[in-house]
Amino acid sequence: MALLQIAEPGQSAKPHQRKFAVGIDLGTTHSLVATVRSGRAETLPNSLGGHLLPSVVRYRLDELPQVGSKALQHVVDDAPNTIMSVKRLMGRGLQDVTRLGESMPYVFEACEDGMPMLHTTAGLKSPVQVSADILRVLAQRGEASLGGELVGAVITVPAYFDDAQRQATKDAATLAGIQVLRLLNEPTAAAVAYGLDNEKQGTIAVFDLGGGTFDISVLRMQKGVFQVLSTGGDSALGGDDFDHAIADWVCQQRDIVNLNLSQQRFLLRQARTAKEALSQVSATDLSFAGWPGVSCPLDVELDREKLNSLLDPIIAKALRATKKTLRDAGLGVAEVDQVVMVGGSTRAIRVQERVAELFDKPPLTSIDPDRVVALGAARQADVLVGNQAGEEMLLLDVLPLSLGLETMGGLVEKVIDRNTPIPVARAQDFTTYQDGQTAMVVHVLQGERDLVQDCRSLSRFELRGIPPMAAGAAKIRVTFQVDADGLLEVSARELASGVAATIQVKPSYGLSENQIADMIKASWSNVAEDRGARSLREQQVEADRLLEAIAVAMQADGERLLTTVEQQTIVTQMEALIVARGGDDHHAITKQIDVLAKATDEFASRRMDDSIKRALAGKAVDNI
Amino acid sequence: MDLSKDYFSSYDLPIAFQVDLTALVDRHRQLQQIYHPDRFAVATDAEQRVAVQITSYLNQAYGVLRSPLRRAIYLLELQGMEPLAPTNTSMPMDFLLQQMQLRERMEELPLAADVEAQLDGLADELLIMHNKLQGEFAVAYNDAQFELAETVVRKLQFIDKLQQECNDLEGRLLD
């Protein structure tokens, strides 16, 4: 609601108006918050000096949830209430979650709209709520470090995240009270972290191998503009596969079969330890002392050569995906100038060797692969809130997965192809197939496959109120709009009659606006006593901010850009807000803020056009 | 930003098939610097909406202007024609025969001993044909022979499609 407080293009905020903004890497195993201070991006520690916040939340009866290391300590003794790896559940339906959750000790329950909920001692929790609890801690850490309220945050997501997963991430931030400046793709963030520190130009490949996912992005950097050319990867490939390959090999060596869950976990932990040790030494023993419930079998020796042979088939998959993504960008390996390594699994020496072989140049590893994403996000956040004077950095991203519609026979017709630059809008026309048909269902899907069942269902739209006509006479235009966060919005209208068909949107997963509002309210009930007072104060501050901004804008441009009637309308609504602000009903203030904001929408849009016109008139286009 | 103008005018380019690609890329970057939603991250919803609309338009326009095929189609559309209308299917017989031969070659290609060389050869040939058709279109369009230009566009679309399939095939075979 910072109406009209923005600087005009080319201008920057004055130093004393420096705004607090952070970048947040909301990771599967751990999360980080970073900011830019004195021109340097840095991750922020907690009060004990730790930077990585384990992405673990433990729910307790009648107490606030524990987040991070404290929660991590209870992973074994309070498994059902201690939620790990919630990122893998974001934006997923109950079916996916049940499958993914097989190795997870949680009890899932479907709520009315099919969204999966986790059963905890503190009640049902959705993955969005769990993520919000993590985000809240990170935002608090940011505010404590910076000593002020955050204007907003850039939150990173894997490039392959689909619309539902992105929307869920944004919902979590909203629930945590964080203004999302932008959802940024993790590989893009990493490129920014390297790019700005080193002033590089050219083509960059970002090789991001995490615990369970592999992401590859190809970007071109020129004059501060980072343009994503293509993205690809494998959402089921990562360092965990290394551990499994080692564990399977050990079982073969010792003819071990039928491990139970805790034995399996123990073996995987040993495998991981051995894998990490082999980055330093040439051979190590996998020790089985303390293997739960089994008399101790002999140690197994693993050397680097054997490790490489176990890792190579997995790395080869990642390299294949890399080559494909380069082809999508129309490039060969030789045309890549820099390779950036992201994700803990790129610490494995073998991964670095094979990547260096493919590109015939050593990859960049100078920034901690665990932190590089958060650092890049912090850079972007700093630019977005206008802290960078004269900063020209701009990130141009692409749609990671194609968007399409269900057609006859359960087939998907693509409407927007993957790797299309965003924001993007496309319209598609439909017609009726029966005389007098007044409604139709449009099914929106995301993915590369041809069959509906192989793609992710994003939403079903029911178009009602189509005027009855002969079959094929009605023409319904459905418009897809993808914004800079990669989020989709769909609208529809009937063209032949000019009648707008009403549209009913039901998200297949994710939350509706009302659900978010309800959850935000519910989260306030923890502090029921001062909830009303806090809301009132917040709304009063918001009202003052809006009133002041509009007053300034009216003084500057009111007479020039608005008719007398339009000015009067705005003044009337301002007066109404001043009256509401003086009362003690925060709902009334919220309502009037909305009314006033709507009343000034058109003014804002004219001011923007006007300021851009002036900015363009003021300089030669070459200097923009 | 007037979104009702033609794409060429929005990019300060003359309405023609030949496009100065360097100028196009530079201009696109400049326009993105001004209008991208990132420039309005802390602005009102209304301003952000306008920014998303404008950049969507720019991305659409840029995609059309950058691609010879889409640019050619667009130029004819500006003339009130519908070069890709489904009813518009008549093609010269010799061109259709050539298409069939090319398709046969592509189908047999995976079985060849020297797949990679064969692929490269086919891709080169397609590129030459594509360039030649672009030249033919430019001449026809400049001479205001729009019917002829329309036929060339449809040929161009065939070749364009073959190029894409050739790329996909390369991806599948070399993985």
Task: Measure the CA–CA gap between B114 and A247, rounded to whole angstroms.
Answer: 41
Task: State whether B44 and A181 contact (CB < 8 Å).
Answer: no
A438: left (phi over 0), alpha (psi -120 to 50) or beta: alpha
Question: How far does Cα A569 stand from its chain's mean position?
Answer: 39
Q: Which two tokens stand for residue A512?
A: 């509706």
Task: State whether A604 and B52 contact (CB < 8 Å).
Answer: no
Chain A residues lying within 8 Å of B38, measured CB to CB: 182, 383-384, 394-395, 484
**Mean pLDDT, residues B126-136:** 95
Has residue A106 been placed in a domain?
Answer: yes
Please tell me which of the candidates B36, B51, B59 has its beta carbon nearest to residue A394. Answer: B36
Which residue would you say has higher pLDDT here, A440 or B76?
Answer: B76
Q: Which two tokens stand for residue A78?
A: 């309070």
- Residue A405, beta-bridge partner list: A413, A444
Q: Same domain, yes or no, for B41 and B109?
A: no
Specify the CATH number for the domain of residue B55.
1.10.287.110
pLDDT of residue B133: 95
Phi first, then psi, for residue A108 (nearest 5°) are -100, 150
Question: Which range marks the domain in which residue A582 is found?
Answer: 518-618
Q: Which amino acid is at A9?
A: P
Specify the CATH number for the domain of residue A582.
1.20.1270.10
Q: Which two tokens stand for residue B103?
A: 């398709």
Q: Same domain, yes or no, for B99 and B170?
A: yes
Given the residues A133, A163, A171, A208, the one annotated as active site = A208
Q: Same domain, yes or no, for A329 and A293?
A: no
Which residue would you say has higher pLDDT here, A615 or B5?
Answer: B5
Question: What is the three-class DSSP state of B144?
Answer: coil
Has residue A3 been placed in a domain?
Answer: no
Q: b/e string for A154-165 if b means 16 or more Cβ within 10 A?
A: bbbbbbbbbbbb
Has residue B59 been placed in a domain?
Answer: yes
Using CA atoms, how far residue A372 sits from A22, A191, A208, A320, A362, in Å, is 14, 9, 11, 24, 18
* Local structure of residue A380 (DSSP, 8 states): H
Phi first, then psi, for residue A616 (nearest 5°) are -70, -40
Q: Same domain, yes or no, for A586 and A542?
A: yes
Q: Same domain, yes or no, for B50 and B113?
A: no
Phi first, then psi, for residue A406 (nearest 5°) are -75, 130
Specify the CATH number for the domain of residue B163.
1.20.1280.20
Q: Same domain, yes or no, for A362 and A253?
A: no
Output the CA torsion sign for B112, B115, B121, B126: positive
Q: Same domain, yes or no, for A335 and A250?
A: no
Has residue A487 been placed in a domain?
Answer: yes
Find out whether A435 and A446 touch, Cβ atoms under 8 Å. Answer: no
Single out the residue of A77, A187, A59 nearest to residue A126, CA to CA.
A59
pLDDT of residue A35: 96
Catalytic, A208? Answer yes
Find out whether A59 and A74 touch, Cβ atoms under 8 Å. Answer: no
Least confident residue range of A359-368, A381-390, B28-37, B119-128:
A381-390
Task: Measure the CA–CA gap between A16 and A386, rounded to whole angstroms.
Answer: 12
Phi first, then psi, for residue A45 (nearest 5°) are -90, 165
Q: Same domain, yes or no, for A50 and A161?
A: yes
Q: Same domain, yes or no, for B157 and B98?
A: yes
Q: Which of residues 221-240 of A touch B (CB under 8 A)?
A: 222-223, 225
Chain A residues lying within 8 Å of B51, measured CB to CB: 608
pLDDT tens-digit map of B143-165: 999 999 999 999 999 999 999 88
Catalytic, A77? Answer no
Task: State whether B52 and A182 contact (CB < 8 Å).
Answer: no
Question: How far does Cα A207 stand from its chain's mean position?
Answer: 18
In sequence order, the 6+-apart residues with CB closer than 8 A to the CB of B99 are B158, B162
Which of B18, B49, B66 represents a domain boundary (last residue)? B66
Has residue B145 been placed in a domain?
Answer: yes
pLDDT of residue A514: 59
pLDDT of residue A3: 40
Q: How confident is the model at residue B5 (pLDDT cuts 50, 70, 90)?
A: confident
Q: Which amino acid is at A221?
A: M
Has residue B60 been placed in a domain?
Answer: yes
Single out the residue of A547, A388, A546 nearest to residue A13, CA to CA.
A388
pLDDT of residue A1: 35
Specify the CATH number for the domain of residue A420.
2.60.34.10
Q: Same domain, yes or no, for A338 and A439?
A: no
Q: Suggest the residue from B12, B36, B39 to mutate for an interface test with chain A (most A CBs closer than 10 A).
A: B39
Q: Same domain, yes or no, for B116 and B57?
A: no
Q: Same domain, yes or no, for A52 and A173?
A: yes
Catalytic, A125? Answer no
Please tell me which of the candidates A324, A395, A483 has its beta carbon nearest to residue B175. Answer: A324
Whether residue A182 lies within 8 A of chain B, CB to CB, comes out as yes
pLDDT of residue A68: 94
Task: Measure the CA–CA gap between A74 and A285, rounded to whole angstroms.
Answer: 29
Q: Where are the beta strands (DSSP E) in A436-584?
A: 440-446, 456-464, 476-482, 488-494, 502-507
**Mean pLDDT, residues B22-36:** 92
Task: Measure the CA–CA gap between A320 and A462, rounded to whole angstroms.
Answer: 41
Q: Around Cβ A540, how many Cβ atoms within 10 Å?
A: 17
Q: Same domain, yes or no, for A272 and A342?
A: no
Specify the CATH number for the domain of residue A43.
3.30.420.40
pLDDT of residue A525: 43
Specify the CATH number for the domain of residue A254.
3.90.640.10
Element (H, E) at A33: strand A30-37
Q: b/e string for B33-70 if b means 16 or more Cβ within 10 A?
A: bbbbbbbbbbbbebbbbbbbbbbbbbbbbbebbeebbb
Has residue B78 been placed in a domain?
Answer: no
In sequence order, the 6+-apart residues with CB closer than 8 A to the CB of A112 are none
Element (H, E) at A182: strand A180-185
Has residue A276 been placed in a domain?
Answer: yes
Has residue B55 been placed in a domain?
Answer: yes
Query: Is the model's pLDDT at B89 over the cut of 70?
Result: no
As for how many domains chain B has, the answer is 2
As for how many domains chain A has, the answer is 5
Q: Same domain, yes or no, for A458 and A485?
A: yes
Question: Which range marks the domain in which residue B139 is found?
Answer: 93-174
Q: Same domain, yes or no, for A249 and A378?
A: no
Residue ranges of alpha helices (H) inside A454-527 are 513-524
Q: Same domain, yes or no, for A292 and A263?
A: yes
Has residue A165 been placed in a domain?
Answer: yes
Please count the CA atoms within 13 angstroms of the CA of A380 that sit on its side-chain side: 39
Please tell me which of the candidates B59, B60, B167 has its beta carbon nearest to residue A327. Answer: B167
Has residue B86 been placed in a domain?
Answer: no
Has residue A477 been placed in a domain?
Answer: yes
Has residue B17 been placed in a domain?
Answer: yes
Q: Same domain, yes or no, for A150 and A201?
A: no
* pTM of the predicted model as reported, rounded to 2 decimal places: 0.77
Has residue B72 been placed in a domain?
Answer: no
Residue ranges of alpha helices (H) inside chain B are 7-10, 21-35, 45-66, 68-78, 93-108, 115-142, 146-174
Q: Where are the beta strands (DSSP E) in A298-381?
A: 300-303, 338-342
Q: Same domain, yes or no, for B56 and B101?
A: no
Q: Which two tokens stand for residue A345?
A: 């699994």
Has residue A192 been placed in a domain?
Answer: no
ipTM above 0.90, yes or no: no
Has residue A394 been placed in a domain?
Answer: no
In the A/B pair of chains, how many CB contacts fall below 8 A?
A: 111
Q: b/e string for B139-163 if b means 16 or more Cβ within 10 A?
A: ebbeeeebeebbbbbbbbbbbbebb
Residues of chain A short of pLDDT 50, as ranges, are 1-16, 198, 504-506, 510, 520, 523-530, 618-624
Catalytic, A96? Answer no
**Greatest Cα pair distance in chain B:** 62
In sequence order, the 6+-apart residues with CB closer than 8 A to the CB of A279 are A347, A348, A349
Which residue would you say has higher pLDDT here, A262 or B110?
Answer: B110
Task: Measure the CA–CA gap between B117 and A208, rounded to whole angstroms.
Answer: 33
pLDDT of residue A17: 64
